[in-house]
Structure formats: C-alpha cells, structure tokens
Amino acid sequence: MILRAAPALVLSLMALPVAAGLLGTIGPALRPGALEALLAWPGLARAIALSLVTGLSSTVLALAVVVLILATLSESRAFTALRRLLSPLLALPHAAAALGLAFLIAPSGWIARALSPWATGWSVPPDALILNDPFGLSLTLGLVAKEIPFLLLMALAALPQTGAPARQVLAASLGYGRASGFVFAVLPALYPLLRLPCLAVLAYGMTSVEMGMILGPGLPPPLSVQVALWSAQADLATRPLAAAGALVQLGLVAAAMGLWLLAERAVIRLLRRATMAGLRARALDAPLAALALTLGAGLGGALALGLAGLALWSFAGSWTFPDLLPQTLTFTIWQRAGMGLTATTLTTLALALASAVVALALVLALLEAEARQGRRLSLPAQAILWLPLLVPQIALLPGLQALALQLGAGGAAAVFAGHLVFVLPYVFLSLSAPFRAIDPRLATLAASLGAGPDRRFWHLRLPLLLRPALTALAVGLAVSVGQYLPTLLLGGGRVTTLTTEAVALSSGGNRRLIGAYALLQMLLPTLGFALAILVPALAFRHRKAMQR
C-alpha cells in the first residue's frame, strides 16, 4: 500500500535537497583557510553572543506573553479582541514588520513626531540610539512582537486536544486562581504540543536576516546577518568564509536548542515544586490579566501601528519631521505597483497553493502512516524534516541550486520543489502535535463499530483535524508567499512573485514602496487564515463542542 511508503517517500523527498544543501555549505566551509578566516574576524564573539541572546530572550518572552494571555484572558471579551488584533499580524512579512516598528520607534519616527515639537521641543529629531542599539533590544522587541501571533495560533490550534476546560474547572473547584490553575493543570498538557513551535521560533529568531538588518545592531551585526552580508559580496573568495559562518550558525542553533531543552527541565522541576506547595495565587489573577492585556495589546498594537504607518507612507507625498501626517497625498506608488500585478499575484498564489496543498497531503500521509503502524518517526528522521528550519537559508541554497541545475530542473518546477522543502517542515510543525494528540481510544471505538482504517481517517481523524489542518495550510501558504531567495535562485530569476518584487524594491529601504508591498504581501496569507477560521466555524456550526 502507498501509505506504508509515505514516511520513506517524504523523508527521501526532504533528505535529498537537504543533503545537497548541506554539502554545498560544508564543502566550502572546510576548505583550508575558511575557518581560520572566520576565527580571525574580530566581531565573531560578539556576533555569536548577540545571536544567542536575542534568539533565546525573544523566544522566552514571546512564550511567556502567550502563556500569560491564555492563562488569564481566555474566554474573555478582551481575549477575542486580542485574537482579532493578532491573527492577521501573522501574515505580516518580517521585513515589513521590522520596518513598521522602526518607523514607530526611531527618533524621527511616529511616536517622536506625535510628541514634537509641543511636548519635546524637538524641531529636528534627537540623536538617540534607539534603533540598532548595541545590545539588540530593538531586535528582541521586534522578534517578540512578530512571534507572539505565531505561537498564539499554534497554542490555539493545540488547545482543544488538551481538554483544557475540564482541567480549568477542576483546578478552579480546588480553589486555584485562573492563572495558577492554567499553569499547573493545563500547561503540562499544552507545552509538549508547543515545544516544536518554540524551537522553530528560536531557530528563526537566530537565523532571521531581515529583522536583524533593520532593527539589530551593526557593529557587529548578529551572526546570521553577517553571514548574509558575506554571501552577498561580489568577491567570490568570501564564499568559503560565508559557508564557515553558516556552519557555525548551524552549531549555534543546535546549542541554543540544547540549552532550551535543559532550561525546560529546570522549569519543570520548579513548577513541580510550586505545584506541591499548592500555590493558589488567586490574588495574582487580576494584575496578571492586566499585564497580559498590556503586553499583548501593546506589542500587537505596535506592529499594527507600524503597519498603518507604512500604509500611510505608501500614499505620502512630502512627509518630513515633525509632521504627524503627510503634507500631501499621492497615488503614484500604487499606480506603479498596479502594473503587471495580476500575473505576479497569480504566480504567487499558484505556487503557494501548490506547495501548501502538496505539503499538507504529504504530512497527513506521513502522520496517518505513523498512526497505523503505531510507530513514531525516529529522531534522526525527524531531524531531516527540521533541518530546513535550522540551517540559515542562505547556506542551504547554493547547494540546492547546484542540485536543481544538475537535475536539469529550472523555472517553476524547481521553485515549487524549493518551496516545498521550506513549507513542509512548517506544515508538519503545525499539524503533528494536534494529530498525535487525538485520543487513540476514539479510533479503537470506531474500529469496534466496524470502521476500517480508511474510514477512520476520512470520517474521524480528518474532520477532527479540520481546524489544525486548515491552519497548517494557511501557515504553509504564508511561508511559501514569504520565500525570496529560493524563488530567485531556483527560478533563475524567471519566476516573479510578490515577494521577489517586494524584496528587490525594498532593498533600497524606500518606506513608500515597502508600505505598498507589505499590504500586498499580507493579502494572500490573510485570506488563508481567514478561511482557517471561517470554514471550521461553518462546518461545525451544529457541533457545539467543536466550536472552540
């Protein structure tokens, strides 16, 4: 049967490009002199420290805010409002999020403009190092704000598998407060489902280039940014240096993950002790709820305001400091953007749909095969799936490109395959935890009623998974829409998507253009996420227990 071969098929599908990509990095990195050149770079220690500190702290903070929101606000009206604010932000491209934030907090930015000159007395912007600060605080803030929507969505997709309401009721009946009840009763069931998304966020935070370039320090930049800068140099002799940097980056991400898993154990031990102490902590509920609302709304609001600022820039004529609003409005940017947009949008949509749907089908087949064989993927096998998330993309791509050229593949087919490599891990990430968390007794029950394996899949698991599957599809869409380098390199520049247009145009840092393209880039993924919310709501309108 085909299904039995699914894991092998998916793994070989992933292993070949990943191996080719890694070989493309390891080969040049081991060339004589490459590692020495990297070690001789005086900024190495600081770049490594920046990478580690911003990556780890942003992941911890984002997770903390998400847990806080879920623990204190769920079911409340504030929660619904917060979710409505945060969900569309998931579709916001990282570069646009960073530029929006930068415009908000820069000394010549929107906040300073709102207060100038009447409150501050500034007629020219002050010389303050807010952006690109040497400790990476702005970068951490940006990463936290951008990753909260992703983690929240992952948590909301996983939560129904944990029986959270029953656990909360039980905890409350024992006198626990909302927050402590959530942390002691729900979190132990929820966190295992959130572990992989957390690790993905950690890897992303450490390898992201756009956010680091815009918000992060430059003297030196975080390692990932420096690797990207080396790779972009015309001097072909720096390629081995870039490859060595990428290899160190890979080790760094692995080390950070190890650190994360160690910290996890320490936290579990701490929580266990707190549980045994029987802390009810009901007095904390109100202040924690206020804190959750402030942080969630503050960070989400900052992103939304930044986006609004960029949107306004896309219509702005002249707009100088300290004016709060543009002096003149113009449509020239949008008229320019409008040319040839239909074809580009269709290409983007077709690529995104194809790669996300295929990835979803493959992941479902993989997980279903797992369930039928009662055997999970081995750790090395899982590692192959995760590698595209962990290795800096810039390091994986030269190898992938060489593979595509050797296979004679080019154009749209190669781009589709490349997207699949980066989309599939995210789809797997979004779907594997909810899939594996389905109560196995349901299947046993169905079998005892005479339902065969196929029927159990189509009529039991798939409907149960409708919401997480659609969410995974939407995440896949968003990931595909966001791919820049794979599209450019594998397509030989002949496949144009909204993102290749947007990145090329914004490589100059022109706020007006970035504003326009950020809105356009958001459009397709937003549709995906809207469907992931609407379809289950419609399908389950007569099934109350499935509606949350």
> Which of 359, 391, 386, 362 is CA-nearest to residue 477?
359
The answer to whether residue 503 forms part of the interface with another protein (CB under 8 A) is yes
Site string for another protein, 457-486 (x = CB under 8 A): ---------------------------x--
Site string for another protein, 409-428 (x = CB under 8 A): -x------------------
DSSP track, 179-194: HHHIIIIIHHHHHHHH
* Site residues (CB under 8 A) for another protein, limited to 189-218: 213, 217-218
- The minimum distance between CB 55 and another protein, in angstroms, equals 19
Q: Of 434, 16, 430, whose CA–CA distance to 200 is shortest?
A: 430
HSE of 153, CA atoms in CB hemisphere, 13 A: 31
Interface pattern 4-43 for another protein (x via CB under 8 A)? -------------------------------------xxx
Q: Which residue in 501, 521, 525, 532 binds another protein (CB under 8 A)? A: 501
Per-residue binding string, another protein, 339-378, x by CB under 8 A, is x---------------------------------------
Q: How far is the CB of 256 from another protein (least distance, A)?
A: 22
* Closer residue to another protein, CB minimum distance, 287 or 340: 340
Q: How far is CA 543 from CA 155, 483, 547, in A?
A: 21, 38, 7
49, 192, 510, 531: which one binds another protein (CB under 8 A): 510
With binding defined as CB under 8 A, does residue 263 bind another protein? no
Which residue in the set 1, 236, 379, 449 belongs to the binding site for another protein (CB under 8 A)? 236
> Residue 74 and residue 165: Cα distance in Å, rounded?
10
Reduced to 3 states (helix: H, G, I; strand: E, B; else coil), residue 450 is: coil
Instruction: Tell the smallest beta-carbon distance from residue 56 to another protein (Å).
Output: 21
CA distance 133 to 170: 47
Q: Under the criterion CB under 8 A, does residue 492 sit at the interface with another protein? A: yes
How many residues bind to another protein according to rule CB under 8 A? Answer: 64
CA separation for the pair 244, 27 (Å, rounded): 9
Closest approach, Cβ 314 to another protein, in A, equals 12
- Judged by CB under 8 A, does residue 504 bind another protein? yes
Out of 5, 350, 405, 445, name the contact with another protein by CB under 8 A.
405
Quick count: other Cβ atoms within 10 Å of Cβ 494? 10
Contact criterion met (CB below 8 Å) for 459 and 518: no
Pick 245 or 425: Cβ nearer another protein: 245
The answer for residues whose C-beta is within 8 angstroms of residue 446's C-beta and 6 or more apart is 455, 456, 459, 460
Of the candidate spans 72-80, 351-359, 396-404, 422-430, the one that interacts with another protein by CB under 8 A turns out to be 396-404
Please pick, from the candidates 494, 541, 543, 548, the single residue that binds another protein as defined by CB under 8 A: 494
Angstrom distance (rounded) from CA 355 to CA 192: 27
Burial class (CB in 10 A: 0-12, 13-18, 19+), 62: buried
* Residue 16 burial class via C-beta count within 10 angstroms: exposed 0-12, middle 13-18, buried 19 and up: middle
In eight-state DSSP terms, residue 236 is: G
Sign of the Cα torsion 411, 413, 419, 422 reads negative
State the number of CA atoms in the 13 A half-sphere of 311 facing the CB: 11
Residue 227 C-beta: closest distance to another protein, Å: 14
Q: State yes or no: residue 493 binds another protein (CB under 8 A).
A: yes
Contact with another protein (CB under 8 A): which of 12, 76, 80, 233?
Answer: 233
179 contacts another protein (rule: CB under 8 A)? no
Strand partners, 316: 329
Torsion sign (Cα): 271, 276, 282, 283: negative
Backbone phi, then psi, for 329, in 5-degree steps? Answer: -115, 145
| 321 lines the binding site for another protein (CB under 8 A) | yes
294 binds another protein (CB under 8 A): no
Give the closest residue to 469 by CA, choosing from 354, 361, 376: 361
Query: Measured from the CB atom, is 58 or 401 closer to another protein?
Result: 401
Stretch that binds another protein, among 55-63, 288-296, 402-410, 429-437 (CB under 8 A): 402-410
In the shown chain, the binding pattern of residues 118 to 137 toward another protein, with x for contact by CB under 8 A and - for none, equals ------xx-x-x-xxxx---
Region of 80-88, 438-446, 447-455, 492-500 interacting with another protein (CB under 8 A) = 492-500
- Give the number of other Cβ atoms within 10 Å of residue 212's Cβ: 30
Residues that bind another protein (CB under 8 A): 41-43, 46, 106-108, 124-125, 127, 129, 131-134, 213, 217-220, 229, 231-236, 316-318, 320-321, 328, 330, 332-333, 336, 339, 398, 401-402, 405-406, 410, 484, 488-489, 492-494, 496, 500-501, 503-513
